[in-house]
Structure 1
């Protein structure tokens, strides 16, 4: 059965209706903590360190503003998931045509890979700082996060949330301890909350802080994670869920703000006050902490970095699953989906180290944030459209003043991130050999800008499909008059195991004595794979004799049958014989392989049914 729920493995897996009082509130606590880790990943660390070391406490107000914008957008994301039961990617699939969803998926997946890349680099740097492990080995180790995520998912949503909260706790505790070590000036910290005019490098770093704080994959993720709570689908139940999730989001994002503020304050107190104004690299910060404060502060710094990278990786990979299933309705095996996401992030990191050396990772970290910024508009604009729509959201559409704040925040984020991209490209144009800029980068930017305009105007212009958006799979059809289906040409895949008797019996029931049956067996020996139908090894001859025995047995029972032998790949051979002979029905036995056996022996049934256009009856 096809599952349409977002993150179907854990959909509505946490019950809220059986709890009362404070326990009921706790039942809703969790999703925002998974979101909060995205607000304190290594990308944030880089911008916070640069801001604190270069401008002291001056940019704390930018962090606060970024956090307030993030709180607004994350609450809209949670509202979409709770009210409509759709994540942001699913809602986009229903609101925009398929041709638009393909590039929207591509951009979202690119942003997730960019996030994952930053987290891989941060994790590898943390392992190097703590254990002296070479960066390339640290990056290789991060591939095992895929196994960790599968383990956590199998243990349930609560186990995953507990893991994330423990990682966040380690990060927060590490920086709280470091605050006592560096002893920042409380008066100057408070003064940093006062807004000031920004220009030059201060503006550039402020843009970087905003770009690293409000991340698109968190909007996709939050709208899905809130659906792990089973709520009462009434106005009262939805209102209660919205209230408790707002509390969850506020607490979690404020925690993320304090962590980011702590990093900036640490950089201001440790580096800016000591005249070290050019600290942007994470490794530099660790080294300087060692010189100034001894071993305790840098050790805590490295531990926090590993914890932040580990937890951000889990949430980034989940977001990859959401955008793939949402935009494309494409579901592949969980372990494969997560492995692909991780590999796509590891490959650029590997290439950078091998080709440019360890020192280039800092530049790659900045580039990942630039790539991330490009996708923000494609998540924010649809989110505001969806949550503003009274026809779809009914009583839970956002109020006009919230809408004004949301569009204002979107305008600020998009314009500042566009400025960040322009700044980067301006730096690239100083290179003499920039032909690639005109061949690849500029056309990509123009197409991206056109798509962004389409995403903004399409929901305003095209209102006739609003009703369709409310039905995930379309409307149920009238089944009509039922007529008996008579199969005349039925294929039967056999393997001479004890399952054959059951498979053949079910096939005979479908067609009776009026149908013609085609017995199929595939020889999979090495000789058969290489030489095909010219092979005459012992196994082929034995299998041919067995097929003739089945044919004679059926003839004695009054059934007409023919035999076919395929060679090489089982799924392809069965499908080729079925298509060539125009079977109307294919009957196959399933061995019931699971887990590791599927990896070793393959999944023939799944492969065959994707290669034929006829009904496939699977017998266990």
Structure 2
């Protein structure tokens, strides 16, 4: 197919209907001809970036904090509380290093987006044959749906808590479904105001869980030992796998490479690209430090209150608020409602970013543009419809929601290689990245992290299916799926080490 034809969208319903992050009106960073351009304009070939500026850091701040919300979604909070209740403080070191691994992956995603001016889904569309990119698209959509269902359930649980049970789970699902229209409304006010809304939601989470942390008064000594001294036992291996497995979110890898393009970066000037990468590195690191602190608050609150108790193994997202209330009481601000507020902020912020990710994934892989309301409705329906069925049939059945959550974790674990491997392959290609491709050392570290994450999630899958799968027919289906799954992963890795001319070339100055 000629290049001109392949570049045409499969379907254009309305060109101008783009998200705030897709519009050409990006956040302006530096005026052409200002003192920075004058000073560095003749020295592009010398490399380096302009000196640090707090003003520019502020202008670049936003995408990293939106990305960090995936580290704070209800699924992560459930993993935190279960790790604290069952393993105490012993897995805090793993939480810290898992966050660091997540930061590495997200920085690679940002690097790809800044250096190429395109996001991961778009590049996958160009770099892989039709059959492979369709498989990658389906896998990305499945991962997003699984994550979105968990986020919707978390929001619905929070609404039920804050309404004193007046609003059942299904009503919370309906209310949460409406947030996509809030998202569309906020988009009209521009990128920076939309980012400010997310900042308020993150601050709400931080204040809520910090207040709970203060109420619980965990041991400072045990907290420091838990962070600095690696400890792992056979009794806590499942929680350890959960801590690492839920940090890398497949849809978030696609999302961050798109979010960074909201800033005006001239790809023709190497030092401008380097400048953007420097500021995004600082901003993303700060964002994940905040997310680590919030996860730390949740883990230690449940470690202090429930570690070593008879109910430790029975705590989940559904009943966590009740157990907190029984343990720490009410006071001026009942801890049950503080927990509900934090959980609601986590659920609402993550569902909106999930809608964003769905739009980028659909548009990137399929080159498909739809009206904003239709695209948001499609991405939201994939999560709302199955969640509504569960809510109507089982309402607050703890066992049912726990089983559903386990299956959703498995669904997302399956998808992780299909985001990580294309990212690592693409960010290592010189003809795509130019001088911003990652070097041998960085490649080695990144592949080791990817291999570790994939192995950990493979362990989770093996343990899950060993305990759940029964019957010759079901075992045969799972075996066939596993063979196809492994074969596709091998294909992706082998293609990454095989030179293939890219349809998208790096700018000569890069």
Other-structure match for 1:424: 464
Q: Is the 8 A contact 2:431 2:505 kept in 1?
A: no
Q: Distance in 2 between matches of 1:78 and 1:191?
A: 33
1:323 pairs, out of 361, 374, 380, with: 361
Other-structure match for 1:458: 495
Please state if 1:333 is matched with 2:368. no
Other-structure match for 1:578: none
- Structure-to-structure mapping, 1:20-419, within 5 angstroms: 21-131=53-163, 132=165, 133-233=167-267, 234-272=269-307, 276-295=311-330, 296-359=334-397, 360-419=400-459
User: How much has 1:77 moved relative to structure 2?
Assistant: 0.5
Would you tell me which structure has more strand in proportion to its own residues? Answer: 1
What runs of 5+ residues in structure 2 fail to find an aligned partner? 1-7, 10-14, 37-52
User: How much has 1:22 moved relative to structure 2?
Assistant: 1.9
Q: Please state whether the residue corresponding to 1:14 is helix, strand or coil.
A: coil
Q: Is the 8 A contact 1:126 1:302 kept in 2?
A: yes
User: How much has 1:446 moved relative to structure 2?
Assistant: 2.5
Q: Please state whether the residue corresponding to 2:246 is helix, strand or coil.
A: helix
Other-structure match for 2:3: none
> Normalized against structure 2, the TM-score is what?
0.87
Q: Distance in 1 between matches of 2:224 and 2:407?
A: 32
Other-structure match for 2:29: 16
Please state if 1:444 is matched with 2:457. no
Other-structure match for 1:553: none
Q: Distance in 2 between matches of 1:86 and 1:122?
A: 32
Q: Distance in 1 between matches of 2:427 and 2:264?
A: 21
Q: Distance in 2 between matches of 1:44 and 1:8?
A: 26
User: How much has 1:197 moved relative to structure 2?
Assistant: 5.0
Q: Is the 8 A contact 1:88 1:220 kept in 2?
A: yes
Instruction: Write the deviation string for residues 113-157 of structure 1: whole angstroms up to 9, x where unpaired.
Output: 111101000000000111122001111111101101111222211
Q: Distance in 2 between matches of 1:288 and 1:228?
A: 43
Other-structure match for 1:617: none
Instruction: Write the deviation string for residues 160-208 of structure 1: whole angstroms up to 9, x where unpaired.
Output: 1111111000000111111110000000001102343534341111111
Q: 1:77 to 1:11 in 2, by over 3 A?
A: farther
Instruction: Write the deviation string for residues 548-600 of structure 1: whole angstroms up to 9, x where unpaired.
Output: xxxxxxxxxxxxxxxxxxxxxxxxxxxxxxxxxxxxxxxxxxxxxxxxxxxxx
Q: Is the 8 A contact 1:93 1:326 kept in 2?
A: yes
Q: Distance in 2 between matches of 1:273 and 1:201?
A: 12
Q: Is the 8 A contact 1:49 1:279 kept in 2?
A: no
- Structure-to-structure mapping, 1:548-587, within 5 angstroms: none
Q: Please state whether the residue corresponding to 1:358 is helix, strand or coil.
A: coil
Aligned pairs, number: 467
Other-structure match for 1:564: none
User: How much has 1:397 moved relative to structure 2?
Assistant: 1.2
Q: 1:6 to 1:130 in 2, by over 3 A?
A: closer
User: How much has 1:8 moved relative to structure 2?
Assistant: 6.1
Q: Please state whether the residue corresponding to 2:402 is helix, strand or coil.
A: helix
Q: 1:157 to 1:417 in 2, by over 3 A?
A: same
Q: Is the 8 A contact 1:43 1:212 kept in 2?
A: yes
Q: Is the 8 A contact 1:279 1:285 kept in 2?
A: no
Q: Please state whether the residue corresponding to 2:227 is helix, strand or coil.
A: coil
Q: Distance in 1 between matches of 2:64 and 2:145?
A: 21
Q: 1:335 to 1:129 in 2, by over 3 A?
A: same
Whose Rg is larger? 1
Q: 1:418 to 1:6 in 2, by over 3 A?
A: farther
Q: 1:454 to 1:280 in 2, by over 3 A?
A: farther
Q: Is the 8 A contact 1:89 1:326 kept in 2?
A: yes
Q: Is the 8 A contact 1:95 1:459 kept in 2?
A: no
Instruction: Write the deviation string for residues 12-62 of structure 1: whole angstroms up to 9, x where unpaired.
Output: 521111499422210000001101111011111111111100111000011
Q: Is the 8 A contact 1:6 1:326 kept in 2?
A: no
> Normalized against structure 1, the TM-score is what?
0.72
User: How much has 1:275 moved relative to structure 2?
Assistant: 5.4
Q: Is the 8 A contact 1:12 1:227 kept in 2?
A: no
Q: Is the 8 A contact 2:20 2:191 kept in 1?
A: no
